[in-house]
Amino acid sequence: MGTFHQNKGELHGITVIVDTTGPEIVVGRCDDMDERGIFLHEADVHRDGEGGRSKEEYVRRVAQLGFWKKHDHLMIPREKIVSVRRLGDV
C-alpha cells in the first residue's frame, strides 16, 4: 500500500531531530523542508539542560521509545537550523 503524500522531500513522513543555533533541540515528523526552513508535525522541543538532560541525552532518550508531542505543527526557520538527522539513525 503506497503513500498518500506526493511532491514532498525525501524526509517527508520521517521523524527527525533538528538541532538549532539556540538551546532548543526539536524532534518531530517532517512534513517538508524548503528554503524557508523545516515544517514538522507532532513535535517536541527540549531546551538544553531541561529536566537535567543535555540535548544529546534527550536525543538518546527519545530514540529508545519516542516522545510526547507538545506541538501539533512547528516551523523552524532555516537560519536557526544547525543540523537535521533521522531519529531512527540514532
Partner 1 sequence: MPYSELLVRPMREELSSAGVKELRTPEEVDAFMNEKSGTAMLVVNSVCGCAAGMARPGVRLALDGDRRPDRVASVFAGQDLEATARARSYIPDIPPSSPSVAFFKDGELVYFLPRHRIEGRDAHSVARDLTQVFAEHCAVPAT
Which residues would be at the binding site for partner 1 (CB under 8 A)? 1-5, 12-15, 63, 65-69, 86-88
- When the beta carbons of 15 and 20 are compared against partner 1, the nearer one is 15
Q: Which of 27, 15, 32 is nearest to 71 (CA)?
A: 27
Least distance (Å) from partner 1 to the CB of residue 58? 13
Least distance (Å) from partner 1 to the CB of residue 42? 9
Least distance (Å) from partner 1 to the CB of residue 61? 11
Phi and psi at 41, nearest 5°, equal -110, 155
What's the DSSP call for residue 17? E
